[in-house]
Amino acid sequence: MATINEIASKAGVSRTTVSRVLNDSGYVSEAARLRVLKVIEETGYVPSESAKSLRTKKSKVVGVVLPKISTETSSRLVKGIDDVLAAKGYQILLVNTNLSIEKETESLRLLKSRNVDGIILSATHVSNELQNVLKETNVPNVVVGQPYPEMYNVVFDDFSAAKELTNKLIENGHKKIAYLGVADTDYSVGVMRRGGVRSALEDANIQLPLEWDWSGTFDIKSGQDGMKVIIEAGLGHPDVVIAATDRLAVGAFEYLKHKQIEVPKEVLLAGMGTSELSRYVIPSLLTIDFPIEEAGKSAAELLLTQIEGKKTISTKVISHRLLE
């Protein structure tokens, strides 16, 4: 295997010139660059990543912290991130917190100790502690999914999305509307989506009974449990059930099917997220499409801009679509 000195000698240039070509940094004439690339191709030279890391003080590794690695949302997010980072020669180090708030902060410190060049956090909540830990890492970072003040964010307009979905249902003549949500510890999905639904109902002077405003977790069983509570509340069954996520909608569908309540003939289900699961399980699901891969790409681009020391926007809001 050729060395960098041998490459320089055969190309008739200095070692510094070869280094500039390899690292794509500094001025090199086009003629010299082509000679270096030709010799590299002929010799099959592969630069040592560890040596390169020592020279550039960059590991070419980005840490990605996920709340649950097995979900479709996480896989789509990582795909978007990887599409951008891989093209720039970066590798991804995945960390799964399994929805543990404590593990989120531990993961950030772990990634700092691994000398990653940047961190992308798919956050489940907003807290001062987490924000302080992010700042303490002193590593370029982007938070996806939750709005963090004074940080770099990629977010969806959850309030407007939920309100738009609810308004569409009201326009279609539905007034007996129930809601399956998640706990308010999740600001974007828990607080803002519920807020959008309530705002639309209030504007239309439609009451959301307390018995039909339910909070659970993100899994399918939680959707089943919530639907059971709503049906057994003694208020009859609603015309429409809006679910904060498509997984909750799938759970609701399973319970309604068990009770032989027809969907969508008797109860229409509406969700948010357009997961693959919902497309196959639920007929006629009205849903909000959040382009998760686009969010991943935007997060990666925002992170690279920071790593390269360029000025960039602090928050990117990703548009959504209403799908019928």
Q: What confidence score (pLDDT) does residue 280 get?
A: 57
Identify the weakest region by mean pLDDT among 56-60, 127-131, 257-261, 264-268: 56-60
Confidence of residue 50 (pLDDT cuts 50, 70, 90): very low
Residue 194 placed within a domain? yes
Residue 53 placed within a domain? no
Query: Which CATH number do you get for residue 35?
Result: 1.10.260.40
Q: What confidence score (pLDDT) does residue 202 get?
A: 97
Residue 173 shares a structural domain with residue 254: yes
The proportion of the chain whose per-residue pLDDT surpasses 90, expressed as a percent, equals 51
- Please indicate whether residue 26 or residue 189 has the higher confidence score (pLDDT): 189
Average pLDDT, integer, range 194-201 = 97
Cα radius of gyration (the chain): 25
Residue 181 shares a structural domain with residue 145: no
DSSP state of 47: -
Instruction: Rounding to the nearest 10 degrees, give the CA dihedral for residues 159, 161, 164, 168.
Output: -130
Residue 132 placed within a domain? yes
- Please indicate whether residue 5 or residue 118 has the higher confidence score (pLDDT): 118
The answer to whether 257 and 250 have CB atoms below 8 angstroms apart is no
The answer to whether 145 and 122 have CB atoms below 8 angstroms apart is yes
Residue 235 shares a structural domain with residue 279: yes
Residue 268 shares a structural domain with residue 180: yes
Residue 52 placed within a domain? no
Integer Cα distance of 115 and 127 in angstroms: 24
Residue 130 placed within a domain? yes
Q: What confidence score (pLDDT) does residue 308 get?
A: 87
Integer Cα distance of 196 and 210 in angstroms: 16
Residue 280 shares a structural domain with residue 231: yes
Residue 178 shares a structural domain with residue 226: yes
The answer to whether 110 and 120 have CB atoms below 8 angstroms apart is no
Residue 254 shares a structural domain with residue 304: no
Residue 68 shares a structural domain with residue 18: no
**pLDDT of residue 15 exceeding 90:** no
Integer Cα distance of 43 and 146 in angstroms: 49
**pLDDT of residue 54 exceeding 80:** no
Domain count, the chain: 3
Query: CA of 176: how far to CAs of 96, 166, 208, 311, in Å?
Result: 39, 12, 8, 49
Average pLDDT, integer, range 122-144 = 89
Query: Which CATH number do you get for residue 219?
Result: 3.40.50.2300
Assess whether the previous peptide bond of 149 is cis (omega < 30° from 0): no
Express each pLDDT in 83-115 by its tens digit: 999 999 999 999 999 878 888 888 888 888 888
**89 conformational bin, left if phi > 0, alpha if psi -120 to 50, beta if neither:** left
Residue 89 shares a structural domain with residue 170: no
Residue 282 shares a structural domain with residue 297: no
**pLDDT of residue 142 exceeding 60:** yes
Residue 103 shares a structural domain with residue 250: no
Residue 22 shares a structural domain with residue 118: no
Residue 31 placed within a domain? yes
Query: CA of 301: how far to CAs of 77, 134, 306, in Å?
Result: 13, 19, 9
Q: 36 lies in which domain range?
A: 4-47
Q: What confidence score (pLDDT) does residue 174 get?
A: 94
**pLDDT of residue 281 exceeding 70:** no
Mean pLDDT for the chain?
87
**pLDDT of residue 311 exceeding 70:** yes
Average pLDDT, integer, range 116-137 = 89
Express each pLDDT in 217-250 by its tens digit: 888 899 999 999 999 999 988 999 999 988 899 8
C-alpha neighbours within 13 Å on the C-beta side of residue 41: 6
Identify which of 217, 220, 160 has the alpha carbon closest to the alpha carbon of residue 192.
160
- Residue 149, classified by CB atoms within 10 Å of its CB into exposed (0-12), middle (13-18) or buried (19+), is exposed
**pLDDT of residue 279 exceeding 90:** no
Residue 80 placed within a domain? yes
Average pLDDT, integer, range 302-308 = 93
Residue 166 placed within a domain? yes
DSSP string, 78-96: HHHHHHHHHHTT-EEEEEE
Query: CA of 85: how far to CAs of 62, 91, 248, in Å?
Result: 8, 7, 32
The CB density around residue 268, as the number of other CB atoms within 10 Å, is 19
Query: CA of 72: how far to CAs of 61, 275, 276, 293, in Å?
Result: 23, 7, 8, 11
Q: At 284, list the tokens.
A: 């006629």
